[in-house]
Chains A and B, each alone.
Chain A
């Protein structure tokens, strides 16, 4: 990466120098150095205040988590009111993605699993078993759920729904409250199983 950056610097700096030393780009076109990209510079600067409303990505280390809190009980009420219609009464019936339990064709805890999969193949996989980071649940629920009204939930409601999904997976007990600090104490089973196919050069 350092090598990449230094090679970028060698390309950018001369271009910047030329642009600075010229009064303006002429109609005939600016001079460019061999191998360097033209310095177009049509991007407009953005302030932090301008970026903030759009910067919704939450990272696994907790970066960008908003302040807030919600309980498993509050999450259960929200779930039955807004989520059950797609994810099923206990988060495993579909038609939308399975929220709880293991992935695969069969399981002792859900004898009807094979029939459910036949109806909705996406139920082969499960948020509870595959997702490696709890922050991804908060991130996705906030940006995309419920499917028919994305971005309609407040941060406290998103914490509550995240808590309820964790509870469905036996990762949080029924009396729990989840907030921006203790959410990072939850360890997802999918993390242990993860390997990466990407090896950066």
Chain B
């Protein structure tokens, strides 16, 4: 190992982001991030002879693959179990177990206001009517013949990280519990402009009331300008037809906008001159400002980041060991330009490496090497997007909103590392 290549770039043990590349680290003390565990270290001895699976033929494969049985603990988590949980349910993705920028479809977060409808695709159609020249309906067979695009985007619920927005003291929760309402996927489908052009928009058509075929007929008012820009009728997620939890057989996908506007189980689009003030845009998905005013139609999810490795309720296995800090950044306005990391509670910062590809309105993976000095410290990440918007501190965010506001929380996340390696949510 060439120690000359290990250069400190900020306080608290942050190292030059090329450290691992340049030195070809083969340190006996280096720990992979998969070593972060809620339990103690696993035995390092694997035995002295061939294991059984190397001395027998393997099993047959299956028609639809599943993760290894050894990974069964990696599951979505049902939050806020309330008596009505089956109908209004919130499922958090295990974001601290994800690598890269794509969330496995079965682990994608879900927020369902009326449960999952069991839709027969043969009896489902998309209607477009209202302020159009020709009201039209499309069945799936016809829709499948339209030109499609595929793009990698994040999806985040407006209420993601709400505990940090409203709780007076930081709750000792995991990244999944705090911020598990964001996921990344490749979404494929039909640019909505093709269908709107076919229907012919009347001059006064400025909004569209977009509705799902679930029991509660979830609906949101979406500006037509967004629908003509980059909105799609999403039919595929990560290469397969979207799952019931994500809106089978089709959903609206509006890149960068709050999850609730990406209407699942889409069946009706009504063009209008004005918004309808549906249930969710009237209450739960409005933002109460510090002066008591109610801000509506705050569609964009603003720039945000989160260190996932290490993160809340994990334990660093070794004092004074090398680690790779890794996390996710995203912005509903465009690409991530920069992520800075601090390992000393914000006294000093270093620029993290952005793992490509850096895509617009997509999760972006960042990494930076770190040698923990074994003392209590606080890890922070601060993202800036291509518009120059940077994440606020929690105090700055709180100043803007009422004390009971919880949507669109994008403040800097702090993880406090105790001297014995425990990682805890913090407001530092």
Contact = CB atoms under 8 A, between A and B. Distances in A.
Contacts of A124: 166, 404, 406
B279 A144 contact: yes
A188 B216 CA distance: 23
Nearest to A188: B282
Nearest to B222: A198
Contact of B138 (A44, A55, A150, A201): A44
A81 interface: no
B80 interface: yes
Given A43-B134, A57-B219, A59-B272, A136 B278 contact: yes
Interface string A171-192: 0000000000000000000100
Interface in A136-158: 136, 139-140, 143-144, 147-148, 150-151
B174 to A, nearest CB: 18
B279 A42 contact: no
B33 interface: no
A44 B198 contact: no
B299 interface: yes
B266 to A, nearest CB: 13
A195 B203 contact: no
Interface stretch (A3-11, A70-78, A160-168): A3-11
A105 B404 contact: yes
A190 B296 CA distance: 11
A150 B288 CA distance: 29
Size bracket, chain B contacts: 35 or more
A83 interface: no
Contacts of A200: 206, 223, 225
A130 B282 CA distance: 7
A48 B296 CA distance: 32
B76 interface: no
B114 A2 contact: no
A127 interface: yes
A37 B199 CA distance: 13
Given A5-B203, A150-B217, A190-B294, A131 B142 contact: no
A54 to B, nearest CB: 6
B41 to A, nearest CB: 37
A12 B403 CA distance: 50
Interface stretch (B81-89, B338-346, B387-395, B413-421): B81-89
B97 interface: no
A105 B403 contact: yes
Contacts of A135: 277
B129 A122 contact: no
Contacts of B128: 43
A40 B276 contact: no
Given A40-B194, A197-B298, 6 more contacts: A1-B206, A42-B138, A44-B136, A44-B142, A121-B162, A198-B296
15 contacts: A1-B204, A4-B225, A5-B202, A37-B194, A43-B138, A44-B142, A46-B137, A51-B129, A95-B82, A96-B84, A127-B282, A130-B283, A144-B114, A198-B296, A198-B297
Q: What 5 A-B pairs are tightest by C-beta distance, nearest first?
A: A43-B136, A144-B216, A198-B297, A197-B298, A42-B142
Interface of A: 1-2, 4-5, 8, 11-12, 37-48, 50-51, 54-61, 86, 95-97, 103-105, 120-122, 124-127, 130-133, 135-136, 139-140, 143-144, 147-148, 150-151, 190, 193-198, 200-201
